[in-house]
Amino acid sequence: MRLDGKVAIVTGAGSGIGKASVDLFRSEGATVVGADLKGADVECDAGDEAQVKALVDRTVAEHGRLDIMFANAGVSGGFDGIFDQDAAAWAEILRINLIGPFLAIKYAAPAMKASGGGSILATASVAGLRAGAGGPAYSASKAGSSIS
């Protein structure tokens, strides 16, 4: 199995791509900590710095290392036009979709370095590349996170 002996964290693991990734990584031999607000191994808000740090710290303490961080958590925010959204809605989408991957990198990278390296993945979207593929806030968040 390709991931034997590897330890992974997947955010947004309660459904969709995250849940499928947890299943795939486990089928390939990895020990996986799935994290989400609900429906996963560990409850974690991927856009909250203290919770992401605690997630990485707990994973390393319980499993001895971290080899893979998949920053997958995200929200769409809908397709409301720019004039129909308020700053609070934008801030929440950016907090999860843009700050979330930053936090994953910030806390996972040192843990991986300490154990000899690893891989960091983040879910991208065509909405970060072209207009009309997502709502304005979602597109802005995905464009920003593609350069993390």
Q: Which of 21, 107, 139, 142 is catalytic?
A: 142
Residue 2 lies in a domain: no
Q: Which of 138, 139, 141, 145 is catalytic?
A: 138
Residue 45 lies in a domain: yes
Residue 1 lies in a domain: no
Are 13 and 69 a contacting pair, CB within 8 Å?
no
Total-model pTM: 0.93
Q: Which of 125, 139, 141, 145 is catalytic?
A: 125
Residue 110 lies in a domain: yes
Residue 99 lies in a domain: yes
Q: Among residues 103, 101, 107, which one has the least CA distance to residue 146?
A: 101
Are 145 and 101 a contacting pair, CB within 8 Å?
yes
Total count of domains within the chain: 1
Query: Confidence class of residue 148 from pLDDT cuts 50, 70 and 90?
Result: very low
107 catalytic per annotation? no
Asked whether residue 146 carries a pLDDT value surpassing 70, the answer given is no
113 catalytic per annotation? no
Residue 39 lies in a domain: yes
Residue 130 lies in a domain: yes
Place of tokens 């991931």: 3
- Domain of 124, in residue numbers: 7-145
38 catalytic per annotation? no
Residue 27: give its domain's CATH number.
Answer: 3.40.50.720
Residue 90 lies in a domain: yes
4-51 confidence digits (pLDDT tens) = 999 999 999 999 999 999 999 999 999 999 999 999 999 999 999 999
